[in-house]
Amino acid sequence: MQAPTLLVMAAGMGSRYGGLKQIDPVGPAGETIIDYSIYDAMRAGFGKLVFVIRKDIEEPFKQTVGSRFDKRIHVEYAFQELDKLPAGFSVPEGRTKPWGTTQAVLMAEDVIQEPFGVINADDFYGGESYGVLAEHLKSGSPDYAMVGFILRNTLSDFGSVARGVCRVSSDNYLQRIEELTSIERDGEGGRNTAPDGTVTRLSGDEPVSMNYWGFTPQIFPQIREVFQRFLEKNTGELKAESYIPMAVGELVSDGEARVKVLQSRDQWFGVTYREDRPRVVDSIRALVDAGKYPNPLWS
């Protein structure tokens, strides 16, 4: 079985964080979260990296991040831009916001021909989670996969976050996923406020998607159709985005895909706001001190 590829979505604007958080050092020797993700992925048997970035960050990204890996593993780049749309569609006047993570995954279609994982550049998922995902991708299963995390462990103390809240069957298959884009911590649980003011209260125990997926190349034509339908419905919208959890959820609801929900005992953590950074730095230092990672990571 061919080694799986890891697609790293790193085109985010970092607007809430206030900078290019993908290249912000958080490890004791200046490592980024991406460094730890790639280290874990390589240990799990991933054989190629594909970074989805924007053209305007290409040079600093390659110099600061890509150069760390190109002598260790095969690296490719794909570019997410506003005007990279299916035939017949154009960018509405005044639109500056990216189209979302569905488009980000689509941008890598030309450089991926094997089973692949998808991650956010600014999320730390843990070594075990890469192991369980790699095992699924190497199994030859036609089913897609998602590594799930518990909602309360993924919330920020410093503002709202977007999460794909999942309903999972007794045999661990995804039944439904709802993208809630403004979840704030509320005691042990959470509270989402929709754009129309509707409030949804959450217990905190819900399994959520952290954009940690496993796919085969069959996903590309499927989500291209989903993305086209999204564009048809949102022709003149300046801020609407198509999120990959929404696209996968639509495929599941339509019976066009099965998604196995994989479990990991690892603790997720990530950087949404600049105030989140000290906790991430402390968490990584604790893992290094416990012998989970060498210091420095790359020798």
What digits encode the pLDDT tens for the residues 7-29?
Answer: 999 987 455 445 555 567 899 99
In this prediction, residue 20 carries a pLDDT of: 59
Per-residue pLDDT tens digits for 29-57 = 999 899 999 999 999 999 999 999 989 88
Per-residue pLDDT tens digits for 127-147 = 999 999 999 999 999 999 999
pLDDT > 90? residue 275: no
Going by their DSSP bridges, the two strands 259-263 and 5-9 should be labelled as: unpaired
In this prediction, residue 276 carries a pLDDT of: 85
Quick one: average pLDDT of 181-208? 95
pLDDT > 60? residue 113: yes
In this prediction, residue 22 carries a pLDDT of: 58
In this prediction, residue 24 carries a pLDDT of: 78
Residues 6+ apart with CB under 8 A from 136: 143, 145, 214, 260, 262
Residues 6+ apart with CB under 8 A from 258: 142, 143, 144, 173, 174, 252
In this prediction, residue 196 carries a pLDDT of: 94
Between residues 199 and 162, the one the model is more confident about: 199
pLDDT band at 187 (very low <50, low <70, confident <90, very high): very high
Per-residue pLDDT tens digits for 45-95 = 999 999 999 898 888 888 888 888 999 999 999 999 999 999 999 999 999
In this prediction, residue 117 carries a pLDDT of: 98
Pick the closest to residue 96 from 14, 162, 13 (CA basis).
13
d(C-alpha 98, C-alpha 245), whole Å: 16
Strand residue runs (E) in 2-157: 5-9, 48-53, 74-79, 116-120, 123-124, 144-150
Q: Say how far residue 156 (Cα) sits from the centre of its chain.
A: 17
Going by their DSSP bridges, the two strands 123-124 and 5-9 should be labelled as: unpaired
Q: Which amino acid is at 166?
A: C
Residues 6+ apart with CB under 8 A from 284: 26, 27, 28, 31, 36, 124, 293
Predicted structure pTM score: 0.90
